Chains A and B, each alone.
Chain A
Amino acid sequence: MSLNWLWLIIKNALQRRGGTSLCLAVVAMLEASAAYAEVPTVTNIFKPLSTPAESIYQNASLVLSICAAIFLVVGGLLAYTIIRFRRRPEDESREPPQVYGSNQIELAWTVIPVLIVLVITLATTRTIYDVQGALPPPDTVNVTVVGHQWWWEIRYPDLGIVTANELHVPVTESGIRRPTFLKLESADVAHSFWVPQLAGKIDLIPNRRNQMWIEPTQPGTYVGNCAEYCGMQHARMLLRVIAHTPEDFERWVAAQKQPPVDDPQLRAGRDVFFSTSCINCHAIKQTRANGQFGPDLTHLMSRETLGSGVVPNTVENLRAWVRDPQHIKPGALMPNMQLSDGELNQMVAYLSSLK
């Protein structure tokens, strides 16, 4: 199923034909895209690295193979018929034999598809129950994911951690199962949680509680998107799942449990933050900032991106974001706070200390 493999075949075929300039251009294009594929943001559903995604992949492979076989048989028959029975010059004066139908043939092409449907349905039912019926083993991590326009709130109720846009989980290694079970909710409109290598998508629907689970088997960063249209910035509602080894995960948990940094030298920036309406929407633990509408900022700088995957989380980008979020992500619900340059510098200095 690997696309690179497909590339190689196409490329070789084209090269062997001894390349006109068009062929060369196509090869160059293929190579360019193969180069992109090496960037570690894989979202290929046929490269599963998690238990439920693997179950889906197996079912999908079966269905895909059956469909491909049907296509070859029926498409082949169709092509054969069209070529074999094309009109020839000698047909001009006569009509072909008029055939009205055949009950036996009708029966055959009814029964065979019914059997195929039966096979696919049974195999699929099994996968549905495998994925949906799974029970959490003892070491399961429980997470609540809340969809917002246009970011993800991520809560670990058992650990007391609240973060955003990046879901940190342990991997299942050497037989010790550490799946993560997600409760999915929404604060506003419908969203959908989709990290293709880890699981299929399940929607986050307001006033409804859904659940799904993931169980990555390799450490790494897995990228995903919101997959249900949720308004203006649906495209910029990216999602990252960072799978750690169990030890790294414990370290991450310990770091997130730390109280926020409170550096006396950055008091000025802190004061700007607490005296503007930032705190109506954002929370910083153990302070009076306890807003719920925006992402929790207690450990802001521990995250990789800003604006739910719009830009890398660097101090320069943070400054640009605070100055005018609308410039980076038009329509985002965070307003331009109209800070002076001095206030902006102080505030960014404070925020960038929240490691």
Chain B
Amino acid sequence: MSTQEIALTPAAEISLPLTARLHDLVLTVDHKKLGLMYIGTALVFFALSGLMAFTIRMQLLVPNNAVLPPDVFNRFFTMHGTTMVFFVGMPIIAGLMNYLVPLMIGARDMAFPRLNAFGYWMTLFGGALLYFSYLAAPGLAGAGSAPDVGWFAYAPLTGRAFSRGSSTDFWILGLLVSGIGSSASALNVIATIVTLRCKGMTFMRMPLFVWMVLIVSGMILLAMPPLSAAQVMLLLDRFLGAHFFDTQAGGSAVLWQHFFWLFGHPEVYILMIPAFASASEIIPVFSRKPIFGYPAMVAATMLIGLISVGVWAHHMFSIGMTAMSNTFFVASTLLVGVPTGIKIFNWLGTLYGGQIRFELPMLFCLGFLFQFLIAGLTGVMLGAAPFNWQLTDSYFVVAHFHYTLVGGFLFMMFAAIYYWYPKATGRMLSKNLGLWHFWLFLIGFHLTFDPQHIAGILGMPRRIYTYDPGRSWEIYNMISSVGALFQAAGVACLVINLLRSLRHGTIAGNDPWDAWTLEWSTTSPPPEYNFEILPEVRSRRPLWDLKHPEDPDWKYE
């Protein structure tokens, strides 16, 4: 590989005609281009699925509203959930891993560059297949299109008897295909980290980001098969008359739920751990201190990975399990809180005694810390089975997981974008626009999701396309919908910033944040071969050692 790659400097590339550049994107096996393509794809799907969420909120603005008819509403929340998890969350973390892992471990590319490209294209085709349903598939009601069975696709609503037409088939196939992509990408990350670390980089000297995505990749390999298997079984049900989930022929609806959540719960951590990984890079740099308790962070991540495969049935407390099973899943679920708590405390320990710089990445990180703390605590409430019997499938759950995935995951992805954009493009994002983005989105986020906790406590169920007045839900829904406007405005600032700064941002230089990991030692953007000379490291913070020869880290580690 590396012999052919001396060809293009970034400056020469821009001068190429558009078609040649597009052609290059199709053929490329460069981890950085693929990484950015993953992230770009994720952002396009994010805008699409964000618009759906916005329309959903407009429908729920007032009782008995008629912005969306029920069937369209049901398709929107199905597509919103499916897209956000599989075609925003998964590609954006795949993009970050692909872009950053080789740079952070001092390698020239991923272990399997072609597999890397294969993974990306499978993800994109999976997404395209899912959205093709809008053109090709009749839905539940027999007319119109797109999957409308919820992102969790509970049996037997997905059976032939209740989901006529082919919209559910598009859902199955789109996810199956993208699942292959995710698995390929996970496999590649593991192989890369295990085999391509530069000289001196032992496992315990890897940046925490690398450690965490290594664990995430292992989790992806464990979590995807149950989903893929269940989807194949569902295809067999739908096309070949198998009866795995066909309750009218003795199949089991609960079996689907077990399969789905055996994937679905680890999936939450698959998304969250890369967010933790980014926080573990950004918080130290902007506190000017090394991460507090590196070994504890590694151990906590491993524990989260381990425990997260044993908690899935906490999504199923209301299916009528025995008291014994309920008790088991309460205990295992609450136990996840311990390593998660350890992480929050270690970030706190990192901040403590530091010199906190309120740059954009750090602002999003601090928002993440508070919001993730709340998400974790509402998670404890949901983890207590009796409380869960009241809260599950209510708006409280909607609030809880949006706190996790928007307040936690998305805030960290924004932080990561502000942090690594200068590395990827060579230019800084505008701080001014970034501050608009941060404050608008922060206000919008809280306006939208804080009141949903109360709506849930007041008995508002999820996935309802409308509601009657007189159950004291109106005010919360109205605030929630107004918040969506703020969020949309915030995201618009981000999009403008991303595009505008490509040309007009100030030049970043190699190391704009005065950071310590290897990706900041090469040029911005890095050359195709990443490092002219492969680096050698003696500690977890090689650039600290360079900048502080009088007090290097390797003396203490």
- Cα A245 to Cα B354 with chains together (Å): 66
Docked complex: B420-468 residues within 8 A CB-CB of A: 454, 457-467
Name the distance in Å between A196's Cβ and chain B's nearest Cβ: 4
A211 is an interface residue with CB less than 8 A from chain B: yes
Quick one: which of B69, B289, B320 contacts A99, CB cutoff 8 A? B289
- Total chain B interface residues with beta-carbon distance under 8 A: 101
B338 is an interface residue with CB less than 8 A from chain A: yes
B373 is an interface residue with CB less than 8 A from chain A: yes
Contact (Cβ within 8 A) A207 B251: yes
B92 is an interface residue with CB less than 8 A from chain A: no
A132 is an interface residue with CB less than 8 A from chain B: yes
A135 is an interface residue with CB less than 8 A from chain B: no
Contact A60 B387, CB 8 Å, known A106-B293, A208-B320: yes
Quick one: which of B330, B342, B358 contacts A121, CB cutoff 8 A? B330
B250 is an interface residue with CB less than 8 A from chain A: yes
A-contact bits for B62-80, CB 8 A (1 contact / 0 none): 0000000111001000000
Docked complex: B280-326 residues within 8 A CB-CB of A: 287-290, 292-296, 318-320, 322-323, 326
B331 is an interface residue with CB less than 8 A from chain A: yes
Docked complex: A169-190 residues within 8 A CB-CB of B: 184, 188-190
B503 is an interface residue with CB less than 8 A from chain A: no
Q: Which of B30-38, B230-238, B374-382 contacts A (4 or more CB under 8 A)?
A: B374-382
Give the secondary structure class of A's interface: mixed
Contact (Cβ within 8 A) A125 B327: yes
- What is the chain B residue whose CB lies nearest that of A132? B323
Quick one: which of B155, B161, B393 contacts A201, CB cutoff 8 A? B393
A230 is an interface residue with CB less than 8 A from chain B: yes
A-contact bits for B363-375, CB 8 A (1 contact / 0 none): 0001001100110
Contact (Cβ within 8 A) A205 B253: yes
- Cα A74 to Cα B553 with chains together (Å): 30
Contact (Cβ within 8 A) B373 A74: yes
- Cα A144 to Cα B35 with chains together (Å): 55
A100 is an interface residue with CB less than 8 A from chain B: yes
Contact (Cβ within 8 A) B141 A223: no
Contact A101 B292, CB 8 Å, known A86-B358, A231-B162, A330-B69: yes
Contact A234 B393, CB 8 Å, known A91-B355, A225-B459: no
B549 is an interface residue with CB less than 8 A from chain A: no
Contact A206 B247, CB 8 Å, known A36-B469, A96-B355, A231-B140: yes
A331 is an interface residue with CB less than 8 A from chain B: yes
- What is the chain A residue whose CB lies nearest that of B454? A3
Residues of A within 8 A of B70 (CB): 232-233, 235, 330-331
Which residue of A105, A205, A330 has the most chain B CB atoms within 10 A of its CB atom? A205
- What is the chain B residue whose CB lies nearest that of A111? B338
Contact A56 B394, CB 8 Å, known A106-B342, A207-B251: no
Residues of A within 8 A of B475 (CB): 29-30, 32-33, 36
Quick one: which of B69, B154, B330, B353 contacts A85, CB cutoff 8 A? B353
- Cα A77 to Cα B341 with chains together (Å): 14
Residues of A within 8 A of B474 (CB): 32-33, 36
Contact (Cβ within 8 A) B355 A63: no
- Cα A98 to Cα B384 with chains together (Å): 40
- Cα A35 to Cα B11 with chains together (Å): 65
B203 is an interface residue with CB less than 8 A from chain A: no
B48 is an interface residue with CB less than 8 A from chain A: no
Contact (Cβ within 8 A) B461 A41: no
A39 is an interface residue with CB less than 8 A from chain B: yes
- Cα A96 to Cα B357 with chains together (Å): 12
B-contact bits for A33-54, CB 8 A (1 contact / 0 none): 1001101011111100000010
B-contact bits for A91-133, CB 8 A (1 contact / 0 none): 1000111111110011001100110010011001101110111
Name the distance in Å between A52's Cβ and chain B's nearest Cβ: 9
Contact (Cβ within 8 A) B331 A121: yes
Contact (Cβ within 8 A) A67 B253: no
Contact (Cβ within 8 A) A70 B384: no
- What is the chain B residue whose CB lies nearest that of A56? B386
Quick one: which of B156, B253, B393, B460 contacts A192, CB cutoff 8 A? B393
Quick one: which of B296, B459, B465, B469 contacts A101, CB cutoff 8 A? B296
Contact (Cβ within 8 A) B458 A98: no
Residues of B within 8 A of A189 (CB): 154, 156-157, 162, 253
B391 is an interface residue with CB less than 8 A from chain A: yes
- Cα A212 to Cα B161 with chains together (Å): 28
Contact (Cβ within 8 A) A188 B162: yes
Contact (Cβ within 8 A) B386 A231: no
- What is the chain A residue whose CB lies nearest that of B475? A33
A59 is an interface residue with CB less than 8 A from chain B: yes
B-contact bits for A57-83, CB 8 A (1 contact / 0 none): 001100110111011001101100110
- Cα A120 to Cα B382 with chains together (Å): 12
- What is the chain A residue whose CB lies nearest that of B251? A207
Contact (Cβ within 8 A) B389 A199: yes
Contact A208 B253, CB 8 Å, known A86-B356, A117-B334, A235-B466: yes
A87 is an interface residue with CB less than 8 A from chain B: yes
Contact A201 B353, CB 8 Å, known A36-B469, A75-B373, A120-B334: no
Contact (Cβ within 8 A) B467 A124: no
Contact (Cβ within 8 A) A229 B385: no
B252 is an interface residue with CB less than 8 A from chain A: yes
B17 is an interface residue with CB less than 8 A from chain A: no
Contact (Cβ within 8 A) A81 B348: yes
Quick one: which of A45, A127, A131, A192 contacts B457, CB cutoff 8 A? A45
B202 is an interface residue with CB less than 8 A from chain A: no
Name the distance in Å between A190's Cβ and chain B's nearest Cβ: 6
Quick one: which of B157, B330, B373, B390 contacts A71, CB cutoff 8 A? B373
Can you list 13 residue pairs at the A/B interface with Cβ under 8 Å? A36-B471, A56-B386, A68-B377, A81-B352, A85-B354, A109-B341, A132-B322, A149-B162, A190-B253, A201-B392, A203-B319, A227-B394, A235-B465
- The 10 lowest CB-CB distance pairs between A and B, nearest first, are A200-B389, A43-B459, A235-B464, A210-B320, A206-B247, A101-B293, A33-B475, A207-B247, A196-B459, A67-B377
New contact pairs (11) apart from A98-B551, A196-B390, A201-B393, CB-CB < 8 Å: A36-B470, A64-B381, A82-B356, A86-B356, A106-B293, A189-B156, A190-B253, A205-B253, A205-B320, A208-B252, A211-B320
